[in-house]
């Protein structure tokens, strides 16, 4: 026999009350924990893919859309821009690298991105199997694409037009897998990477479907090994730009917006804007979670207060049998603390389940996965917060123990 055993028996005696209190705590803690997890992982994913990219140029439209489509591959691109204008940027002394991107096709929802070798270098991703594509219509696929689409080296597949898998298929020309990237935790994991020329080939072919195949094959010039393609009259979707020094940030975006058909979008600004938009929602949910936790505290308070009223005689009895008031106070405190601990752990587990469900959805829609279930440092504070709420909610009604008149209570009934 010990105080814990009595406390647990008391909680089980009032199953529904205990359940309600623990449930409310679970909800509140779970919501906060889930928000913390999502916030941290979204932040990580966004920052990791952002690293080193100072500016994105794309067709005029929403700058946020340009960023989302070009860096994170989650929104539709705004349109096309002439490759000549992109290449003109290379001549600017402030510009360090220009990585053109061309997208518009997918395979089972995984985007096929035409780009230069600089793109892969930028994310510092190595080829795990096979070798990097080095001719038109050859592709290297991301680790997640390989895992989910079951594509292997040497496999051929035809892409579908558009960015979701329902698009019309380009059956005439097939891509060939030559390599698979190692998992990197970046956007490359979910992409099929090929040369810019592949994307042009596919679409010229589609546009001139009636022309004979020989002519199409003719466009595949040996000169394609050139890492900086400069074809006149070609379009790309967007380009990722790195500056040599921060001065570029001051002048180039304005020049581009004023003097070219393209628009410049700055990831740092757009992502901060996105987060402040999301922030309103997150703030609301966090407030809601805090309200739920407070209600949980009140619920613990009320259920202990009521059960103490019912158990007044029991308390007087235990006092008459030799219990000290502090001992009974501790017993009641343990009841509150047990509820808090139960609420905390079920909340933390619920948040992980929530994250897992959310991650499934995010993976289906955007191919991003958010699978990190470790305890966050903030959750340790949350633990102490829950303990404090349980302790206060239990202590307030339990102080009545110190005022209980044993003789009168025993004589009353």
Select the span of 3-11, 46-54, 199-207, 391-399 touching another protein (CB under 8 A): 3-11
Spell out the alpha helix ranges (H) of 185-244. 196-207, 213-218
Among 214, 361, 374, 411, which residue interacts with another protein (rule: CB under 8 A)?
Answer: 411
* Total Cβ atoms within 10 A of residue 11: 22
Contact with another protein (CB under 8 A): which of 13, 44, 166, 182? 13
Q: Which is nearer to another protein, 216 or 410 (CB)?
A: 410
Q: Counting contacts by CB under 8 A, is residue 16 touching another protein?
A: no
CB of 317 to another protein, least distance (A): 5
CA-nearest of 115, 107, 226 to 174 is: 107
Of 9 and 214, which has the nearer Cβ to another protein?
A: 9
Binding marks (x or -) toward another protein, 40..79, rule CB under 8 A?
----------------------------------------
Nearer residue to another protein within complex by CB, 273 or 327? 327
Instruction: Report the alpha-carbon distance of residue 254 to residue 217 in Å, rounded.
Output: 41
C-alpha of 333 from chain center: 39
Does residue 15 touch another protein according to CB under 8 A? no
Q: Is 361 exposed, middle or buried (0-12, 13-18, 19+ CB in 10 A)?
A: exposed
H or E element, residue 305: helix 267-310
Considering only the stretches 9-17, 125-133, 172-180, 382-390, report the one whose residues sit in contact with another protein under the rule CB under 8 A: 9-17
| Separation between Cα atoms, residue 370 and residue 365, nearest integer Å | 13
Residue 124 DSSP code: T
Nearer to another protein, 12 or 361 (CB): 12
Q: CA 286 → CA 168, 195, 240, 279, 289, distances in Å?
A: 44, 45, 35, 10, 5
Site residues for another protein, 369-408, by CB under 8 A, read 406-407
Give 21 or 87: the residue with its C-beta nearer to another protein.
21
Shortest Å, Cβ 23 to another protein = 20
Nearer to another protein, 50 or 404 (CB): 404
CB of residue 22 to another protein, shortest distance in Å: 17
- 369 or 409: whose CB is closer to another protein? 409
> Would you count residue 10 as binding another protein (CB under 8 A)?
yes
Instruction: Name residue, tokens 């099929």.
Output: 192
Residues in the chain: 413
Residue 356 interacts with another protein (CB under 8 A)? no
Residue 127 in contact with another protein, rule: CB under 8 A:
no
Closer residue to another protein, CB minimum distance, 233 or 322: 322
Q: Which residues of 52-64 are buried (b: 16+ CB within 10 A; e: fewer)?
A: ebbbbbbbeeebb
Q: How far is the CB of 411 from another protein (least distance, A)?
A: 5
Distance from C-alpha of 199 to C-alpha of 413, rounded to nearest angstrom: 89
To the nearest whole angstrom, how small is the minimum distance from the Cβ of residue 326 to another protein? Answer: 10
**HEC-encoded secondary structure of 132-184:** CCCCCCEEEECHHHHHHHCCCCCCEECCEECCCCCCCECCCCCEEEEEEECCC
Shortest approach of another protein to residue 299 CB, angstroms?
Answer: 19
Under rule CB under 8 A, which residues in 295-354 are in contact with another protein?
Answer: 311, 313-314, 317-324, 327
User: In terms of CB distance, is 231 or 314 closer to another protein?
Assistant: 314
Query: DSSP string spanning 376-407?
Result: PHHHHHHHHHHHHHHHHHHHHHHGGGGG--HH
| Residue 320 Cβ vs another protein, minimum distance, rounded to whole Å | 6
CB of 17 or CB of 102, closer to another protein: 17
Q: Return the C-alpha torsion angle 210, 235, 49, 64, nearest 10.
A: -110
Report the interface residues with another protein, using CB under 8 A: 1-2, 5-6, 9-10, 12-13, 311, 313-314, 317-324, 327, 406-407, 410-411, 413
């Amino acid at each position: 026999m010990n105080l814990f055993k009595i406390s647990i028996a008391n909680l089980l005696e009032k199953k529904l009350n205990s359940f309600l209190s623990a449930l409310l705590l679970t909800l509140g803690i779970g919501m906060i924990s889930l928000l913390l997890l999502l916030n941290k992982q979204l932040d990580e994913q966004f920052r990791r893919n952002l690293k080193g990219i100072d500016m994105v140029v794309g067709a005029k439209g929403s700058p946020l859309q340009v960023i989302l489509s070009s860096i994170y591959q989650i929104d539709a691109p705004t349109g096309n821009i002439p490759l000549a204008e992109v290449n003109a940027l290379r001549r600017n002394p402030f510009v360090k690298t220009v990585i053109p991107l061309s997208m518009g096709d997918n395979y089972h929802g995984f985007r096929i991105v035409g780009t230069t070798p600089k793109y892969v270098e930028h994310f510092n991703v190595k080829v795990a199997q096979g070798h990097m594509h080095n001719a038109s219509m050859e592709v290297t696929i991301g680790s997640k694409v390989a895992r989910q689409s079951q594509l292997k080296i040497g496999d051929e597949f035809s892409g579908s037009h558009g960015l979701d898998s329902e698009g019309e298929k380009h059956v005439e020309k097939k891509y060939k897998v030559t390599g698979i990237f190692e998992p990197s935790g970046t956007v490359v994991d979910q992409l099929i990477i090929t040369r810019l020329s592949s994307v042009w080939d596919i679409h010229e072919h589609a546009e001139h479907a009636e022309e004979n195949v020989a002519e199409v094959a003719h466009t595949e010039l040996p000169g394609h090994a050139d890492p900086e393609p400069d074809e006149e009259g070609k379009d790309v979707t967007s380009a990722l730009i790195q500056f040599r020094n921060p001065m570029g940030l001051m002048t180039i975006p304005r020049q581009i917006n004023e003097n070219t058909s393209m628009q410049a979008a700055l990831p740092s600004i757009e992502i901060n804007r996105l987060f402040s938009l999301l922030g309103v929602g997150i703030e609301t949910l966090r407030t809601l979670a805090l309200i739920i936790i407070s209600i949980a505290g009140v619920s613990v308070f009320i259920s202990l207060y009521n059960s103490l009223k019912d158990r007044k005689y029991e308390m007087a009895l235990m006092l008459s049998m030799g219990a000290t008031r502090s001992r009974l106070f501790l017993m009641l405190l343990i009841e509150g603390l047990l509820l808090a601990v139960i609420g905390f752990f079920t909340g933390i587990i619920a948040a992980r389940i929530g994250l897992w469900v959310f991650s499934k959805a995010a993976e289906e829609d955007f191919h991003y996965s958010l699978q990190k279930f470790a305890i966050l440092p903030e959750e340790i504070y949350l633990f102490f917060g829950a303990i404090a709420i349980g302790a206060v909610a239990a202590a307030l009604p339990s102080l009545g123990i110190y005022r209980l008149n044993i003789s009168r209570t025993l004589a009353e009934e």
